Amino acid sequence: MGITEIFGLLGGLALFLYGMQMMSDGLEAAAGNRMKKILEKLTSNRFLGVVVGAVITAVIQSSSATTVMVVGFVNSGMMTLNQAVWIIMGANIGTTITGQLIALDVGMVAPLFAFFGVAMIVFLKSPKVHHIGKIIAGLGVLFIGMDMMGAAMMPLRDMPEFVNLMTKFSNPVLGILAGALFTAVIQSSSASVGILQTLGVAGLIPFSSAVFVLFGQNIGTCITAVLASIGTSKSAKRTTIIHLMFNIIGTIIFATLCLALPITDLIEKITPNDIPAQIANMHTTFNIVTTILLIPFGTLMAKAAVKILPDDKTPGSKEGLSTLGKLNEEFRRSNFTLGLSAVHVDLLSQEINKMVTLAGENVERSYNAVLNSDLQEFETVEKNEEEIDNLNKEISQYISKILTLGNGLQNADAIEKYFLITGNAERIGDHACNIAGYIDVIQRKSITFSELARTELEQMREISKKAIDKVLERTDDVTKWLSEIAAMEQQMDDMTRTYRESHLERMRQGKCTEEACVLYSELLTDFERIGDHVLNIAQAFSKIYVNE
């Protein structure tokens, strides 16, 4: 095998993997969030869940992408472990579609696919058409890469060393290990099965040996989900355990059957002299039969995963936001972004709601501290403010990283809006901290507020709490919801103006001290700014809701 063939092999592999990535990116931009909603709604019934998992994975041609999505949904609490079982089973069936497409030998028209896809991207302006073009071009590039690899590997048939290496895969254990290792490295069973089919076409590996490599590839594909589960919740990790259990059990069953019964001969007779089709058919048979055998035991598999990875017995144990950072790192390392922006948005929504809630709690506590000279409330505000700052830092870093996952992220606009929400929530926390900080001046200078001023402060606290609580309400009528919050913000502005005039009148009448006047003026400023930031958050949320 000369340098020309080596370059051809590497170039073909690059095109093959890049074609799969193009398809994944195009599908992410075109339908990532829709797939998330389908997965959420149609997984209560086990058979329907299997069908949904199979169909979605057949469309996106990646069980790894579907499984990583499921890991994210389970981690965010959007899906239960039992629901995840059926999706994973279906995903294993759906992933076989790539092998069947390759077996159809559409390589002759692959350049045509690539041409039309690129033409749609270059000459048409519609973003939706661009996404579809990317899918079509990716399919064409994928098959062009397959042809290049096949041509480059033909000379290997005459290399005794390589032929000898391939014959060792007739040993079931070595074949399974080789398939698992290779698939774990490239993190795509669809890609590794395609490469196995190319080896078969080149006459480098017989079907009797390829089946064991194929079984190992089903185990190796679990590595992407395993990586994605690092730093996630226990339930998310259990999802990957179920994925591993499914493929390991299937491998044990089929490896035993292939050694004991003439199953490979039967598959060969269905499509004689067509090893890509034989590999594709065995891949499909493996996953369909394993699903049929295990579907009655799906709930037991979920229970077994809980037994393998039990809950922490330490009461009050709590996973922090660093989970998001770790999860994002693993997503970034994986080969797939399909559907992941949907996961990111849901995780971000949960954590940002937590941040806004904490900022609202601090506003209320800060008024309590000022009204009652309560040092304990002041200390709580300071602790909460530190947590708000940490949340702001972690979420901002998380958003920055996930926006680098790819230009095709369907929810990029929503993610950017969350960045604006985070900044405004942090500013609300800052103003709450300012309000609470006035307690030092109050106690040091023995400042007291008149009854009227205390009443006004109480009203400030109530309307602030009401506005922030309203922001956290999810509603279908976004226009009405936003107008109600805008009305509250206007009310806060009107209250500020009215209270400022009332404050000036008390000053003219000598009813408040100079220190109290200055302090109250600062309180009004913070109160007005809180209203502005609440409205900013509502406006950003409204754009997210409208675009969903």
pLDDT of 317: 40
Integer CA distances (angstroms), 20 to 59, 98, 416, 438, in order: 12, 10, 27, 59
Terminal Cα distance for the chain, rounded = 53
SS3 state of residue 214:
helix
Distance CA 118, CA 112 (A): 10
Distance CA 251, CA 261 (A): 15
Distance CA 155, CA 141 (A): 23
Q: Who's near 70: CB < 8 A, 6+ residues apart?
A: 39, 79, 84, 87, 88, 91, 225, 239
Query: In a structure prediction context, what are the per-residue pLDDT tens digits for the chain, which is 548 residues long?
Result: 567 777 877 887 788 777 767 776 676 566 555 655 665 565 567 788 888 788 777 766 666 667 766 776 676 566 777 778 888 888 888 877 766 766 666 556 778 888 988 998 888 888 778 878 887 888 788 778 767 766 776 676 566 665 566 566 678 888 888 888 887 776 667 777 777 887 787 777 888 888 898 898 888 878 766 766 665 667 778 888 888 899 899 999 999 998 888 888 888 888 888 888 888 889 889 989 999 999 888 889 888 988 888 866 544 444 444 445 444 444 444 444 444 555 566 677 778 888 999 999 999 999 988 888 888 888 999 999 998 988 888 888 777 776 665 544 555 677 778 888 999 999 999 999 999 988 888 888 888 888 888 898 899 989 999 999 999 887 778 889 999 999 999 999 999 999 888 888 888 887 777 778 888 889 999 999 999 999 999 998 888 776 55
Q: What is the number of residues in the chain?
A: 548
Q: How wide is the angle at C-alpha 455 spanned by C-alphas 450 and 458, nearest 5°?
A: 125
Rg (CA), the chain: 30
pLDDT of 372: 86
Distance CA 343, CA 225 (A): 14
For every residue of 256-290, DSSP letters joined together read: HHHHHS-HHHHHHHHSTT-HHHHHHHHHHHHHHHH
Q: How crowded is residue 429: how many other Cβ atoms within 10 Å of its Cβ?
A: 30
**Buried/exposed 1-39: b ≥16 CB within 10 Å, e otherwise:** eeeeeeebbeebbebbbebbbbbbbbbbbbbbbebbeeb
Q: Who's near 220: CB < 8 A, 6+ residues apart?
A: 179, 180, 181, 182, 183, 184, 189, 192
pLDDT of 104: 65
Nearest to 100 by CA among 58, 47, 50, 46: 58
Tell me if 547 sits within 8 A of 414, measured CB to CB: yes
pLDDT of 493: 93
Q: Tokens 């060969």 belong to which residue?
A: 268
pLDDT of 276: 84
Q: Tokens 């690899």 belong to which residue?
A: 149
pLDDT of 251: 92
pLDDT of 65: 65
pTM for this one? Answer: 0.56
Domains of the chain (ranges; CATH) run 3-308 (no CATH), 339-547 (1.20.58.220)
pLDDT of 519: 87
pLDDT of 315: 42
Tell me if 191 sits within 8 A of 17, measured CB to CB: yes
Distance CA 113, CA 107 (A): 10
Q: Tokens 């472990």 belong to which residue?
A: 81
Distance CA 83, CA 87 (A): 7
